[in-house]
Amino acid sequence: MNNLAYSYELSRRPTDQADVLISLITKYPQSPYVDDAKFKIGEIYTFAGKNDDAIKYYSKVIAEHASNAELVQKSYEGIGSIYRAQSKNAEALAYYEKAIKENPTSPLVKNLLEIYKDLCVVSGTSERYEQFRESIGAPKLGSFEKDSLLYEIAINKYVADDVKGAVMSFQDYLAQFPSGFFAVEAHFFLAECLYSKELFDKALESYVFVLEKQAVVFLLIQLV
């Protein structure tokens, strides 16, 4: 039956494949292929956009096959990716944390941690990223890495047209890294935000900073 399911996969018949795998699980609950079957059904439903059904089967892997660390990790990731696609960042962060902690020596962890970092950027929380890295024994962020992370959070809010959030994040970045790698850019975008809120005096301070740093070319490019 597992071979039949695989033949359906090769012939790109995911619905038939899922039906066969569900039949395998039902008829042969002690089969050594059951855990893989449940995970594969989760994948099929994910690609089909049947997110609730996908989460159901990923959750079965997690609850019923705890000894299979690799599949449990991938199932946590599967659920996390669904929430990520739905922009449910809080839920996604929680499941990516579980995926990483489930099997921290897995070769998947490097990529999972990058996705987790991206989610932290979108959520505007550098502290959570730093604390989580510490909790899994990862090296602390260096000065440049933290500089880049805080700037990335700020610019993400600027691009998302979250003016209030961008102002706070650029100010936070500049407070921690007044001469940081992205200080000129941060001052420019901060000035743009302040100018849009008609806080002209404050905007002028940042524009002057940019000019004083001899970033005239940068300023002109941004104003075109």
Q: Is residue 222 over pLDDT 80?
A: no
**Residue 211 pLDDT exceeds 80:** yes
**Predicted confidence band of residue 53 (pLDDT cuts 50, 70, 90):** very high
Residues 65 and 35 sit within 8 Å (Cβ to Cβ)? yes
Query: Would you put residue 115 in left (φ > 0), alpha (ψ -120 to 50) or beta?
Result: alpha
* Average of per-residue pLDDT across 158-174: 96
Residue 28 in any domain: the answer is: no
DSSP string covering 78-122, please? HHHHHHHHTT-HHHHHHHHHHHHHHSTTSTTHHHHHHHHHHHHHH
Q: Indicate whether 18 belongs to any domain.
A: no
Instruction: Report the domain count for the chain.
Output: 1
- For residue 24, being part of any structural domain is answered with no
Tell me which of 185 and 1 has the higher pLDDT. 185
The domain of 183 spans 162-224
Q: Is residue 220 part of a domain?
A: yes
Residue at 205 is within a domain: yes
pTM of the model: 0.84
